Amino acid sequence: MNVATTHNITPISEFPLFDCLNEEEKGRLEAMAEYKVKPKFSYIYLPDEVSDQIYFLAKGIIKIATHSDDGKEIIKSLFQPLAMFGELGIIGETRRQDLAQALREEVHLFSLKVEDLKKLMRTNFQLCDKVMVLFGNRLMRAENKLESLIFKDARTRIVEFIKDSVSRSGRKVGFEMLLKHSLTHQDIANITSTSRQTVTLVLNELRKSDLIYFNRGKILVRDMARLA
């Protein structure tokens, strides 16, 4: 039995990105992919490592981050299950610029050589289109984040991060939205380019206003429309 199957992990061929492949192509994909389990807080890759692998997250949460000259961590992205990450080798990155790290739970993932994915893209133009759309969407999110850093204050950035995270990864509970996460207040600060103290102040203010409830690993948004 496949190791991934014993952990109830979605096979790589069933990731949404690959739903355009035929059965023969899916078989090739599964033969090329390597299944891995990494402990919590472990690094998937580090800056300056060779960028010859692409990763597909099956379980857990991954952060993509970098460090400023003074050592401050900046979290660029968070990835949830069924996402692809570490993909810049497709468009010419030879050495990693960022790091990829598991958060507070072990992660299950598949790795695929850049050249192997390129081979599939050359023979399946729908896959090529889907990968390009993915790149485009991530570029737009990066531009939106840059505009937010330039034009919006710290409180707005924190609130928008909560709303965006809940919209993408939360689930409806009655009239409320529940987000389960693995982030500390410092992680949220590193994502929103604020401070841990500011994150704590804003979250406490939102809780006092009965807009959210939070505890370790959970944020409950009472009313998405009122959260502003």
The residues near 210 (Cβ < 8 Å, ≥ 6 apart) are 222
CATH for 153-221? 1.10.10.10
Following CA atoms 93, 99, 148, 139 in sequence, which dihedral angle do they give, to the nearest 10 degrees? 30
pLDDT at 5 over 60: no
**Predicted TM-score of the model (pTM):** 0.85
CA distances from 161 to 65, 127, 221, 227 (A): 16, 30, 12, 11
pLDDT digits (tens, 9 = 90+) for 133-163: 999 999 998 898 889 889 999 999 999 999 9
Question: Chain centroid to CA 217: how far?
Answer: 16
Beta bridge pairs of residue 102: 62
Confidence of residue 182 (pLDDT cuts 50, 70, 90): confident
Whether 180 contacts 214, CB under 8 Å: no
Domain span(s) for CATH 2.60.120.10 in the chain: 3-150
| Among 7, 23, 30, 2, CA closest to 111 | 30
Strands 73-79 and 62-67: antiparallel
Confidence of residue 3 (pLDDT cuts 50, 70, 90): low
Confidence of residue 4 (pLDDT cuts 50, 70, 90): low
pLDDT digits (tens, 9 = 90+) for 41-90: 999 999 999 999 999 999 999 999 999 888 889 999 999 999 999 999 99
CATH for 3-150? 2.60.120.10
Q: What is the largest CA-CA distance in the chain?
A: 56
Q: What is the DSSP string of the chain?
A: --HHHHTTPPPGGGSGGGTTS-HHHHHHHHHH-EEEEE-TT-EEE-TTSB--EEEEEEES-EEEEEE-TTS-EEEEEEE-TT-EES-GGGGT--B-SSEEEE-SS-EEEEEEEHHHHHHHHHH-HHHHHHHHHHHHHHHHHHHHHHHHHHHS-HHHHHHHHHHHHHHHH-EEETTEEEEE----HHHHHHHHTS-HHHHHHHHHHHHHTTSEEEETTEEEES-TTT--
CA distances from 69 to 92, 128, 163, 186 (A): 25, 37, 30, 18
What is the distance between the alpha carbons of residues 98 and 87, in angstroms, rounded to a whole number? 12
Domain span(s) for CATH 1.10.10.10 in the chain: 153-221
